Every structure is written in structure tokens, then in C-alpha cells.
């Protein structure tokens, strides 16, 4: 079956612009996670959704970052007034349920470059 998909695969933008990154999780997965990964580092937790609600957004670096999952499926990560330091690969993952030994399935990521 289809895995987690993310669009776009690459996004180049200018400092100060607004961007939206989209994640399509595996059908039926209730938990959805966003991570950010810089070169040579592990994925850094940003936010996770259980259904439609953001259950934990403690990883969002500041109020320029926001994410939604209005129908409990597709999610969009929104970044306002982008800065060069936002450049990274943004990964989305989904799992059948949150927590425990639930394996997370990752998408291929969106590489964001802020010039």
C-alpha cells in the first residue's frame, strides 16, 4: 500500500516568505508527527497530532511555526517569515496509534532552503 507522502520534495524560498509543507499519512493512521532534521543530526521533534488535535506541540521552535490537521488525515506545516536557520529537511511520520511500541513510518521529507 501507499506510504507516507510529502510535498513538495524541495522548496526554495527567500527570507521573510511564508511556506506550507504538506504530509499525507498512511490511511488509517491516527497519529501524525512532524520532525526537522539538519545535516548530521537526528530528527528533532516538532509536533504531533492524535486525530485532528495537536496533542503535543512542545517542539515548535517559536510562533512562526504552526501545523494543522483539520480532518484527521492530511497535515500542513506552516512557517511564517522564514529565516535562513529554518533551512532543513522536514520529515513527517505516521503511526497506527500514538505512543508505546507503535512503529513510526516516515515520509521522504521536504528539503527547505531559505536564501
Partner 1 sequence: GQSLEQPSEVTAVEGAIVQINCTYQTSGFYGLSWYQQHDGGAPTFLSYNALDGLEETGRFSSFLSRSDSYGYLLLQELQMKDSASYFCAVGTGDKLIFGTGTRLQVFP
Q: Which residues bind partner 1 (CB under 8 A)?
A: 4, 31, 33, 35, 40-45, 48, 50, 55-56, 59, 91, 93, 98-101, 103-109
Can you tell me the distance from the alpha carbon of 62 to that of 74, in angstroms, rounded to the nearest whole number? 23
User: Closest approach of Cβ 102 to partner 1, in Å?
Assistant: 9
User: Closest approach of Cβ 60 to partner 1, in Å?
Assistant: 13
User: Closest approach of Cβ 106 to partner 1, in Å?
Assistant: 4
Which residues contact residue 46 at a Cβ distance below 8 angstroms, ignoring those fewer than 6 apart?
33, 34, 35, 36, 57, 59, 60, 61, 65, 67, 77
Amino acid at each position: 500500500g501507499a506510504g507516507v507522502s510529502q510535498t513538495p520534495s524541495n522548496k526554495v524560498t527567500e527570507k521573510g516568505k511564508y511556506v506550507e509543507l504538506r504530509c499525507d499519512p498512511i490511511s488509517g493512521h491516527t497519529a501524525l508527527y512532524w520532525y526537522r532534521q539538519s545535516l548530521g543530526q537526528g530528527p528533532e521533534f516538532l509536533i504531533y497530532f492524535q486525530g485532528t488535535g495537536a496533542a503535543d506541540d512542545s517542539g515548535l521552535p517559536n510562533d512562526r511555526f504552526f501545523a494543522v490537521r483539520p480532518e484527521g488525515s492530511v497535515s500542513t506545516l506552516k512557517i511564517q517569515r522564514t529565516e535562513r536557520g529554518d533551512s532543513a529537511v522536514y520529515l513527517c511520520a505516521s503511526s497506527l496509534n500514538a505512543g508505546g511500541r507503535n512503529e513510526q513510518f516516515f515520509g521522504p521529507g521536504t528539503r527547505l532552503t531559505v536564501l
